[in-house]
Structure 1
Amino acid sequence: MPRTRRRRIAVNTVCALLTAAATTVALRPGLLTDHLPDGLTFFGTETVDTLPLPAEPERGPSRAEPFRGSPALRWADGAAGIVLPEARATGGLRKARVEGALRDTRDFLIAANLDPATLRGERPQAALDLIDPADRTLLDRLDTPLAKPSEKHDPLMMFSRFDPAEVVPAGPVVKTRGRTTFEAGERPGSVEIHADYTFVLPVTRVRVDAEQVVRTIARRVLTVEVSDPATYEVTPGKIWIAEYRAGIYNSSCTVFDGYLHPSFPGDAPEPGSSGPGQDPYVRSTAGTEPEPGECAPVSRT
């Protein structure tokens, strides 16, 4: 049965640096159900999809129709679903600075979740190159999971990656839906960009049942902090990720090798797979967190 894996994520809370000042980085475990800074409930403002859902077909997805029976069928294809708001001068930053940061945030989401090299399990270098090199704490915390993935150090918190020896994409399209907003930051001369996107990733096995298609769904939530480089130690053209969160649906809850492992029809359920089914397409609420060690089922993919 397909599973949901609400991944614990690292939340990198950053005070951007005054020149020659010390860096303060606090990491804490969190979940997609958490609130963003200052009690801002990002999910509470999510636009609800009120259109009728497609009827569930008798036949499941196929290579020719990988999104058959899924609400994602009417979602945008890939990067087209990451639509940015119009930039404006905010928080003491000029419009051009905000505009560039919005574009860089979009590029990061694309590189981390849509780039073919990332999806086939390669090192997501294009995404890593967009992170501010001054944020060594975050870069080190991403290098470790990529080099030696484990339950504690899991690259899937940030990147959508499949084992190329196990599965391949079922076609070139990943469906995408979400939103980006921005607001003035707490500190003078700063802006916070909030990005919340769901990616629907269809795959098929490499060898066995190569025509059988399933979908893994990843919801990514980022808060990017943008600061004035004239005041703070930041690198123009790079992003400083203040928070990142993830909810993964239909991927193994017990394998921590740095890859998504979707469930196919006929696969044996994983140990501890129980609890109410969760709908990965509901974006109006944060959903509920499975109990620790629980591998909750998914109502659909």
Structure 2
Amino acid sequence: MSEDPKIPDDVWERFARDTERDIRGSAPKEPSARAREVTERLRRQEARGELPEGWRTGPAWQQKKSRRGLWGVLGVAVAVVVAVVAVKPSLVPGDPFGGESSAAAEPAPLPQETQAPTAAPSAEASAIPTLDDPFAGSPAKRWADGAAGIAVPEAKAVGGRSAAKVEQVLELTRKLLVESNLDPATLRGERPKAALDVLDPLQKDVRGLLETGLREPDDTHDPLWMFSRFDPEEVRLVGDVVKTRGRMTFKAGDHASVAVHADYTFVYPVVQTNGSTEVTRTIVRRILDVEISDPARYQVTPGKLTVVNWDQDINNSACDVHDGYLHPSFSSSEPTGAAPTGPTTDPYDRSKPLDPDRAEGCGTVSRV
């Protein structure tokens, strides 16, 4: 149990000084000669019957005296309460100052995702995202911030590969996800050198496709298949937080390898660079399968990742635009690209895997 709140010395000194002053002011005083003369005259008038009976104890005098005494008592009580509240406002029940504690205002963060959820996140209270609160009204408000949402599972030996080798693959996978989807330079559209360096240069089909896409993007060489990039002349991130949620697993691979499966969703709050304050969000879900094979048996570069599979679901970005950038839609601006033709989906729904045979093209989203 916590101790009683300590009231600072200066508060007690001020309280004692004011109380002493009030006591001195209300203490009986020796009447002056003039007061004694008036009292004697009134006494003689009363003896002669010149004053009405009960004049000393009339209702008006009694009420005035009683009220003055009440306020004196209340004044002392109020002084004590004010002193205590000044030291520890939390002792007052309720919320007397009209504020709300940060714990009550901010929703509790979600625990790490360890398996696929059974349903989409529940609907949030309707709220418009702002520069001060870019995740208002979004389930992602409870998600982890940036790289904190990419947790590496505990490494264990698998498929004849040591726990140390498994840990190496997991950490490289995490690095690839961070550098591809969270690095500020990558998000500004700069060359994602650190992400490319994680990939095996001997896997020329993947490296070649991405390198071409970064130089000359088109519908068959699109860097957005691996990297999240925005045109810095068009939009900028609001703040420095990207919300992240997902999970990573591993198993023995088919090529004397450790195979890692990653499934993560990234939520990017952005605003236009034209001076508008409207905030919108682009949501990108990425599926990534990578491995490190045994260099003694396969032609691979030691310590580099081989990409086995990738897939992505991009939401609230222009359709059929292949310039290498994400183009978020704003209600205050004309849309970029073709009109959506696909079905309406919930971009926050992580309960279902991405269907590799789903129709190409983009659809509409039920919320951003």
TM range (shorter): 0.7 to 0.9
Residue of structure 1 in register with 2:282 after alignment: 216
CA gap of 1:295–1:181, structure 2 versus 1, over 3 A, is closer
Normalised by the size of structure 1, how large is the TM-score? Answer: 0.79
Give, in angstroms, the shift of residue 287 of structure 1: 6.0
Say if 2:195 is the partner of 1:113.
no
Give, in angstroms, the shift of residue 255 of structure 1: 1.6
Residue of structure 1 in register with 2:267 after alignment: 200
User: What code does the residue aligned with 2:288 have?
Assistant: L
Cα shift readout 1:48-92 (whole Å, capped 9, x = no counterpart):
4676442122xx111111100000000000000001111111111
Give, in angstroms, the shift of residue 234 of structure 1: 2.3
Give, in angstroms, the shift of residue 97 of structure 1: 0.7
CA gap of 1:124–1:157, structure 2 versus 1, over 3 A, is same
- What fraction of aligned residue pairs are identical, expressed as a percent? 52
Give, in angstroms, the shift of residue 132 of structure 1: 1.2
Is the Cα contact below 8 Å between 2:176 and 2:195 reproduced in 1?
A: yes
User: What code does the residue aligned with 1:248 have?
Assistant: I
Is the Cα contact below 8 Å between 2:319 and 2:338 reproduced in 1?
A: no
Residue of structure 2 in register with 1:136 after alignment: 204
Q: 2:229 aligns with which of 153, 161, 180?
A: 161
Residue of structure 2 in register with 1:46 after alignment: 116
Q: Secondary structure at the match of 1:246?
A: strand
Q: 1:89 aligns with which of 148, 157, 164?
A: 157
Residue of structure 2 in register with 1:24 after alignment: none
More helix by share: 2
Is the Cα contact below 8 Å between 1:93 and 1:228 reproduced in 2?
A: no
User: Over aligned residue pairs, what C-alpha RMSD do you find?
Assistant: 1.9
Cα shift readout 1:207-258 (whole Å, capped 9, x = no counterpart):
141x111100111111011212233222232211111111100000122110
Q: Tell me, which stretches of 5 or more residues in structure 2 are unaligned? A: 1-114
User: What code does the residue aligned with 2:352 have?
Assistant: T
More strand by share: 1
Q: 1:242 aligns with which of 308, 312, 330?
A: 308
Q: Tell me, which stretches of 5 or more residues in structure 1 are unaligned? A: 1-44
Residue of structure 2 in register with 1:124 after alignment: 192
Cα shift readout 1:11-54 (whole Å, capped 9, x = no counterpart):
xxxxxxxxxxxxxxxxxxxxxxxxxxxxxxxxxx6134676442
Point out which structure has higher relative CO (alpha carbons under 8 A, 6+ apart): 1
Say if 2:322 is the partner of 1:266.
no
User: What code does the residue aligned with 1:250 have?
Assistant: N
Is the Cα contact below 8 Å between 2:121 and 2:348 reproduced in 1?
A: no
Is the Cα contact below 8 Å between 2:259 and 2:292 reproduced in 1?
A: yes
CA separation in 1, counterparts of 2:275 and 2:327?
A: 15
Say if 2:125 is the partner of 1:55.
yes
CA gap of 1:271–1:224, structure 2 versus 1, over 3 A, is closer
Residue of structure 1 in register with 2:104 after alignment: none
Q: 2:352 aligns with which of 270, 285, 288?
A: 285
CA separation in 2, counterparts of 1:81 and 1:125?
A: 22
Residue of structure 2 in register with 1:148 after alignment: 216
Q: 1:231 aligns with which of 297, 300, 305?
A: 297
CA separation in 1, counterparts of 2:134 and 2:235?
A: 14
Give, in angstroms, the shift of residue 148 of structure 1: 0.2
CA separation in 2, counterparts of 1:87 and 1:135?
A: 26
CA separation in 2, counterparts of 1:284 and 1:123?
A: 33
Q: 1:186 aligns with which of 251, 254, 261?
A: 254
CA gap of 1:280–1:142, structure 2 versus 1, over 3 A, is same
Is the Cα contact below 8 Å between 1:75 and 1:81 reproduced in 2?
A: yes
CA gap of 1:171–1:142, structure 2 versus 1, over 3 A, is same
CA separation in 2, counterparts of 1:93 and 1:235?
A: 17
Q: Larger C-alpha radius of gyration, 1 or 2?
A: 2
User: What code does the residue aligned with 1:254 have?
Assistant: D
User: What code does the residue aligned with 1:88 have?
Assistant: K
CA separation in 2, counterparts of 1:51 and 1:147?
A: 38
